[in-house]
Amino acid sequence: MMPMQIMGRKPKLTRRDVLARRSRAAAAVLFVALAMGACSESVGVEGATTIRVLLTDAPIEYVEAAMVDIGPVELVPADGGPHILLSEDGTDGPVNLLDLQNAATMLLADAEIDEGSYSQLRLIVESASVELIDGYSFVGGGNVQDLKIPSGAQTGIKLKLRDENGGPLVMAGDMVLVVDFDVSRSFVIQGNPETPAGIKSMSFKPTLRVVVNNLAGSISGTVSTDVDDTSVESLTVTAEPADDGALEEYQTQTATTMTAADGTYMLPFLVPGAYYVILTPPDDTVVSSPDTINVTVGPAENVTEVDFTLVE
């Protein structure tokens, strides 16, 4: 495994600059392709299938770099057969999840698999670290911290693969899976950056979701305000499923994003189903109207005009 790498210093940015930059990229997809059987000679071979895995992430405040090193990548057959090793070293060293946006690409594995039913995708996390944005540091000094990997992530983050009926996912022909490595929920600040107590440390709890791309839908809308001097930029919007179903320890179906400078937002790659969409106000002087919007997303449906207003 390559040693942990921390990105070189960037020109000094204000916290607002960093948040604005990331909110603009929140809806951008990180295309990290896991292409199995992508070779031309495998096309059309009976009993073989091709699959790609596209990785995206959600933005996070106060963090300049969220480094993760993914090792082995495996598929688990639904019949309990041996795990299929797709790659021994998925990322080949640490990568910054916040840099891998705006259609950046990185190959994790290249293999051919048999058609059939599969119950899990497994990713083994070998290391993680975090770097805070300029102007913030940890209480003990410095703005870089290596993070402890939970034992479950060391043995493999299990992402349950399900079809629309809740059974194992049947892979045949060309398929695309989208894995969302939700940085905002995976890297958790201990302490309060905006008080003298400061940031004591950062904990790492991988939180990922997976969806079949051709079934995935989206929710989008706009946040406006009736309150003077209240910004609609960099606000968190969350889509919480009405029923998560049976998920693995580090798996979720909840999606998060941040609003752009004009208040628009998009929550892409959603598993079809019912969601509670919630806007988090910037402070306790304003509230969201309405406070929650119930939305049902059909297969490959893009639900628009899910709008909120900030009021006193």
**88-138 pLDDT, tens digit each:** 888 889 988 887 654 455 677 777 788 999 999 999 999 999 999 999 999
Identify which of 62-71, 264-273, 291-300 has the greatest average pLDDT. 291-300
Residues 196, 88: Cα–Cα separation, whole Å: 44
Cα separation, 62 vs 283, whole angstroms: 17
Q: What is the pLDDT of residue 58?
A: 61
Q: How far apart are CA 46 and CA 287, in angstroms?
A: 57
Q: State the amino acid at position 290 in one-letter form.
A: P
Write down the mean pLDDT value for the chain: 81
Tens-place pLDDT, residues 1-27:
333 333 333 344 444 444 444 443 333
Q: Per-residue pLDDT for 79 more than 60? A: yes
Question: Diameter of the chain by CA atoms?
Answer: 64
For residue 57, what are the contacts with CB-CB under 8 A and spacing of at least 6?
Answer: 30, 66, 97, 98, 100, 101, 180, 181, 182, 183
What residue spans define the domains of the chain?
Answer: 1-214, 216-312
Domain 216-312 homologous superfamily, CATH: Immunoglobulins (2.60.40.10)
Alpha-carbon distance of 151 to 204, in angstroms, equals 11
- 152-162 pLDDT per residue, tens: 888 899 999 98
pTM: 0.76
